């Protein structure tokens, strides 16, 4: 009888995560900006409500069988609570705050944590992003939207924010790279390599510098960490691959007219802003001024900060645009001081420490996770991520990666990738 009950529970659990992945795909497709077949505002709302409803049912079913909070839930839940507290203390208005984005991020990542309980579910989420990016690249090609005027960025021609479009393509590319490194079948790796090149093209055309740099940084770190110890030829091979990737990327971006117009010129301006030579790109200069202004404002209240999501008003008061600081570090420091900053980034440090010190975790998992964390830290210098759904889902995926452990026979516990019991997690 107990065996029958267990088998029935396993079937129900499989049904929930598989239908949950389908709902995630629908939500990603509907929320994709500007180009998708489902890309209408009503459809976005319907897909979000469907995801919330399905998630609520899944959570109710799972809790009945027993449940413990994961470290990730505790981390982001505590961070969200501090954001609410900071907003309340500062007297900020809910209708003018990003607190809703934080609440939605927390809710959706909690829901996803009930779906992603196996390697199959983990890979399915990666494929959701990849397939959505492939579909939308095809749609962009079919509508001739990838042909841009000089100096125009992909997204500008669609009347949407180019950076929003770039964020999707960046994570689609990173997840494709992730699947490539985890794939053992040579033919499938070749397919994934073609996919990476295919969806990287619109990514470059968006002109987003950090979105272009992040996947390259991800590859470099994985290759550097994943070299077999004691095999110089393996290390040399990976170093040569890194050199080829950097050289080819630079040649293409700086010499292909369409790519140079969208991204190459902006990359030149970014480098000039660091070296102090040549023409400095205006947006890079403006963002650096916003970061500096946020640091000066943070010094007024370094411990507690100035109140959640208040930098935009401080910026406007000082003659700058009514805008965020374009840096996750300065945004958190200004809003909640050292306390909010530490509450957010201690989790990054904990995961990174595990990646470099816990030898029980296979090197492939550690290298992928470390690459993801370092990539995210680089991203945070040029953008605000604490309230972005895609960034926070990526953080949860990294957390999942360190939950892959070795069993007594030194084989991967493939179908026990996740378990909400803390005893299963290596991150403690």
CA distance 57 to 62: 9
Does some domain include residue 58? yes
Q: Worst-scoring range by mean pLDDT, 31-40, 122-131, 152-161, 283-292? A: 31-40
Name the band, by pLDDT with cuts 50, 70 and 90, for residue 98.
confident
CA 69 to mean position of chain CA atoms? 22
Q: Per-residue pLDDT for 411 more than 50? A: no
pLDDT of residue 361: 85
Inter-residue contact 334 to 314 (CB < 8 Å): yes
Closest to 178 in 3D by CA, of 136, 215, 131, 138: 215
Question: pLDDT tens, 33-50?
Answer: 765 555 566 788 889 999
Q: Worst-scoring range by mean pLDDT, 213-227, 286-300, 383-397, 400-414? A: 400-414
pLDDT of residue 150: 77
Does some domain include residue 272? no
Inter-residue contact 199 to 169 (CB < 8 Å): yes
Burial bucket for residue 421 (CB in 10 Å: 0-12, 13-18, 19+): exposed
Number of domains in the chain: 1
Mean pLDDT of the 97-125 span: 91
* DSSP states of 266-333: HHHHHHHHHHT-SPPPHHHHHHHHHHHHHHHHHTTSTTT-S-TT-HHHHHHHTTS-S---S-HHHHHH
What stretch of H or E contains 301?
A: none
Does some domain include residue 217? no
Joined tokens for residue 5 = 């009950």
pLDDT of residue 65: 72
Mean pLDDT of the 120-148 span: 92
| CA distance to 106, 294, 295, 302, per residue, from 299 (Å) | 29, 9, 6, 5
Does some domain include residue 49? yes
Percentage of the chain modeled with pLDDT above 90? 53
User: What does R_g of the chain's alpha carbons equal in angstroms?
Assistant: 22
- Report the predicted TM-score, pTM, of the whole model to 2 decimal places: 0.89
Q: Per-residue pLDDT for 226 more than 50? A: yes
Inter-residue contact 390 to 108 (CB < 8 Å): no
pLDDT of residue 12: 52
Does some domain include residue 136? no
Q: Per-residue pLDDT for 167 more than 60? A: yes
- What is the number of alpha carbons within 13 Å of residue 295 lying toward its C-beta? 9
The residue ranking higher by pLDDT, 2 or 335, is 335
pLDDT of residue 425: 35
CA 396 to mean position of chain CA atoms? 9
The boundaries of the domain holding residue 5 are: 1-67
- What is the number of alpha carbons within 13 Å of residue 395 lying toward its C-beta? 30
pLDDT of residue 210: 94
Closest to 175 in 3D by CA, of 200, 156, 151, 207: 200
Does some domain include residue 228? no
Does some domain include residue 32? yes
The residue ranking higher by pLDDT, 2 or 63, is 63
The residue ranking higher by pLDDT, 151 or 95, is 151
- What is the number of alpha carbons within 13 Å of residue 288 lying toward its C-beta? 12
- What is the number of alpha carbons within 13 Å of residue 124 lying toward its C-beta? 18
Instruction: Determine how many CB atoms are found less than 10 A away from the CB of residue 99.
Output: 21
Name the band, by pLDDT with cuts 50, 70 and 90, for residue 234.
confident
pLDDT of residue 36: 54
- Name the phi and psi angles at 406, rounded to 5: -95, 140
Q: Per-residue pLDDT for 229 more than 60? A: no
Q: Per-residue pLDDT for 7 more than 60? A: no
Does some domain include residue 242? no
- Name the phi and psi angles at 308, rounded to 5: -60, 130
pLDDT of residue 5: 35
Name the 3-class secondary structure at 402: coil
Q: Per-residue pLDDT for 204 more than 80? A: yes
Mean pLDDT of the 185-200 span: 96
């Amino acid at each position: 009888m107990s065996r029958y009950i267990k088998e029935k529970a396993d079937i129900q659990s499989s049904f929930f995560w598989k239908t949950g992945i389908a709902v995630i795909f629908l939500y990603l497709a509907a929320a994709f900006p500007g180009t998708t077949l489902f890309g209408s505002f009503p459809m976005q709302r319907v897909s979000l409500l469907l995801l919330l409803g399905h998630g609520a049912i899944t959570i109710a079913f799972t809790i009945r069988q027993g449940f413990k909070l994961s470290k990730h839930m505790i981390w982001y839940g505590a961070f969200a609570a501090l954001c609410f507290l900071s907003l309340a203390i500062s007297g900020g208005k809910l209708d003018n705050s990003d607190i809703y984005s934080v609440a939605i991020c927390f809710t959706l990542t909690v829901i996803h944590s009930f779906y992603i309980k196996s390697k199959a579910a983990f890979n399915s989420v990666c494929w959701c992003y990849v397939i959505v990016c492939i579909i939308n690249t095809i749609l962009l090609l079919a509508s001739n939207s990838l042909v841009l005027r000089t100096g125009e960025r992909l997204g500008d021609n669609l009347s949407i924010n180019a950076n929003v479009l770039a964020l999707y393509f960046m994570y689609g590319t990173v997840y494709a790279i992730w699947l490539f490194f985890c794939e053992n079948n040579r033919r499938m790796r070749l397919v994934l390599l073609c996919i990476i090149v295919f969806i990287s093209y619109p990514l470059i055309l968006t002109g987003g510098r950090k979105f272009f740099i992040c996947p390259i940084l991800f590859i470099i770190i994985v290759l550097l960490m994943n070299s077999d110890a004691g095999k110089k030829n393996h290390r040399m091979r990976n170093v040569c691959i890194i050199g080829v990737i950097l050289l080819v990327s630079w040649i293409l971006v700086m010499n292909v007219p369409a790519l140079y117009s969208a991204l190459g010129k902006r990359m030149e301006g970014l480098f000039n802003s660091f070296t102090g030579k040549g023409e400095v790109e205006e947006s890079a200069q403006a963002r650096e001024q916003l970061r500096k202004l946020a640091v000066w404002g943070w010094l007024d209240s370094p411990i507690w900060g100035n109140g959640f999501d208040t930098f935009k008003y401080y910026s406007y008061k000082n003659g700058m645009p009514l805008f965020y600081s374009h840096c996750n570090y300065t945004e958190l420091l200004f809003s909640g001081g050292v306390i909010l900053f530490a509450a957010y980034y201690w989790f990054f440090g904990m995961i990174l420490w595990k990646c470099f010190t816990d030898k029980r975790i296979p090197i492939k998992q550690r290298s992928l996770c470390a690459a993801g964390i370092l990539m995210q830290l680089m991203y945070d210098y040029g953008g605000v991520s604490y309230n972005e759904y895609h960034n926070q889902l990526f953080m949860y995926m990294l957390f999942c990666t360190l939950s892959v452990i070795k069993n007594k026979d030194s084989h991967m516990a493939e179908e026990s990738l996740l378990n909400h019991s803390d005893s299963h997690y290596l991150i403690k």
